[in-house]
């Protein structure tokens, strides 16, 4: 890296911001950002222009990939744009700068939890319904142990072959009343539409204002979809929120990490006088456990299908499976993993 002074960063988001911070400390210059999101083309990010990947060919600068999807982006740049010699990697949550390895809290927190709560992780194996899930859970735990620089020496984390939220036993079906918590801009809803599923109704929850506005725009042409600018929690409240205008916004108790407040609601309160959901999907950046506590009545009494992300906090990998099995002993639990990174581990549940 020392021999280069000018860089292009692929990823106009959180990873890109962190990469620029490191380059600034090294006295390096970021010429511009690159992002696949067409809506970002021509905009400014941290004072730099955001360009489309095809425009990289016009310049002679080193390209740093700053995204959790670095493998896919590498392939895109090689196959679609012929870039091979000018690719370096900045892997999500790990920074290799001047040959110094700095791990962020992701791996450290997991190793600490694994040491202190090893027996709870072991319990999950007995709760899973099939051998495929047990093997996958083991490989996810193993992958987290080696996550980071060492992980590049091993095969990527194992991804399942089916689409996220379309597990063969736990997927949207005709007649479902669906909760899409962490609806983002409607990407999961679009997949449901593509599958021609005759859902009864979809309630989409997205507290980030920019994402919510895009969600409204992207889903207005479809029938029986209600979008609500709420975060899900264990009660109605106002909480601090860090809005990143991407899929990494999160609720926080630390006011220094927040840029505004959001309204929250529990599913039990929201559905008090409504038809109860038959499928609940949650990808809400670490708020899943609190949101489940706020849906205890629905889950215990109506036993909906569940698709719950359990990767945001290391303890969720055991807390959520154990909790759901305690509430509903008839639940069959399955594990899915949908990225080569540590992210997108999903717990699927169905009676």
Domains (ranges, CATH) in the chain?
A: 6-103 (3.40.50.720), 116-350 (3.40.50.150)
Output the pLDDT for position 84.
Answer: 56
Q: How far apart are CA 67 and CA 11, in angstroms?
A: 6
- pLDDT level of residue 246 (50, 70, 90 thresholds): very low
Over residues 58-116, the pLDDT tens digits come to: 556 778 888 767 767 777 777 776 665 555 444 433 333 333 333 445 677 788 888 89
Alpha carbons 204 and 227: distance in angstroms, whole number: 5
Is the sign of the CA dihedral 291, 295, 296, 300 positive or negative? negative
Please give the pLDDT value at position 11.
86
Q: Which segments of the chain are extended strands (E)? A: 6-10, 29-34, 44-45, 48-51, 62-67, 87-91, 94-97, 100-103, 177-181, 201-205, 225-228, 231-232, 237-242, 250-252, 260-265, 279-282, 305-309, 332-337, 345-350
In this prediction, residue 153 carries a pLDDT of 46
Token representation of residue 208:
């980030």
pLDDT, greater one: 5 or 310: 310
Rg over CA atoms, the chain:
21
Q: Indicate the pTM of the whole model.
A: 0.74
Give the pairing of strands 48-51 and 44-45.
Answer: antiparallel
How large is the average pLDDT for residues 220-243? 90
Contacts of residue 62, Cβ cutoff 8 Å, sequence gap at least 6: 4, 6, 7, 8, 86, 88
Angle value at C-alpha 124, between 116 and 160, nearest 5 degrees? 115
Compare 3 and 132 and report the one with higher pLDDT. 132
* Residue 282 confidence (pLDDT): 98
For the segment 267-294, the average pLDDT, to the nearest whole number, is 97
Which stretch of 148-152, 247-251, 265-269 has the lowest confidence by average pLDDT?
148-152
- The most distant pair of C-alpha atoms in the chain lies apart, rounded to whole Å, by 65
For residue 205, what pLDDT is reported?
98
Neighbours of 280 (CB within 10 A): 25
Rounded CA gap, 313 and 302, in Å? 27
Distance CA 91, CA 102 (A): 11
Q: What is the mean pLDDT of the chain?
A: 84
Question: Residue 95 and residue 22: Cα distance in Å, rounded?
Answer: 9
pLDDT of residue 248: 52
Tens digit of each residue's pLDDT (9 = 90 or more) over 144-184: 887 654 444 455 566 788 999 999 999 999 999 999 999 99
């Amino acid at each position: 890296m020392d021999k280069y002074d000018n860089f292009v960063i692929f990823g106009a988001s959180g990873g890109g911001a962190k990469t620029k911070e490191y380059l600034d400390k090294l006295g390096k210059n970021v010429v511009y950002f690159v992002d696949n999101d067409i809506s970002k083309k021509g905009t400014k990010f941290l004072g730099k222009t955001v360009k489309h990947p095809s425009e990289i060919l016009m310049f002679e600068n080193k390209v740093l990939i700053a995204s959790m999807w670095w493998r896919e982006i590498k392939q895109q740049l090689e196959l679609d744009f012929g870039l091979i010699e000018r690719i370096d990697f900045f892997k999500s949550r790990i920074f290799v700068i001047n040959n110094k390895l700095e791990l962020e809290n992701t791996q450290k927190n997991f190793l600490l939890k694994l040491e202190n709560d090893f027996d709870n992780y072991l319990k999950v194996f007995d709760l899973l319904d099939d051998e495929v899930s047990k093997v996958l859970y083991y490989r996810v735990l193993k992958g987290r142990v080696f996550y980071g620089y060492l992980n590049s020496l091993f095969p990527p984390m194992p991804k399942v072959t089916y689409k996220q939220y379309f597990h063969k036993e736990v997927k949207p079906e005709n007649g479902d009343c669906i909760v899409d918590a962490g609806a983002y801009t409607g990407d999961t809803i679009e997949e449901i539409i593509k599958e021609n599923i005759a859902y009864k109704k979809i309630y989409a929850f997205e507290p980030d204002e920019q994402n919510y506005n895009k969600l409204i725009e992207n889903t207005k042409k479809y029938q029986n979809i209600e979008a609500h600018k709420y975060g899900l929690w264990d009660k109605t409240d106002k909480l601090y929120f860090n809005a990143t205008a991407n899929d990494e916004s999160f609720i926080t108790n630390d006011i220094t990490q927040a840029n505004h407040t959001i309204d929250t609601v529990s599913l039990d309160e929201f559905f008090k006088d409504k038809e109860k959901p038959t499928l609940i999907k949650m990808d809400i950046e670490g708020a899943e456990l609190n949101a489940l506590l706020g849906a205890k009545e629905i889950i215990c009494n109506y036993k909906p299908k569940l698709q719950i992300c359990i990767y945001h906090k290391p303890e969720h990998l055991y807390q959520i499976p154990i909790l759901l099995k305690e509430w509903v002993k008839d639940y069959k639990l399955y594990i899915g993993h949908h990225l080569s990174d540590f992210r997108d581990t999903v717990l699927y549940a169905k009676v």
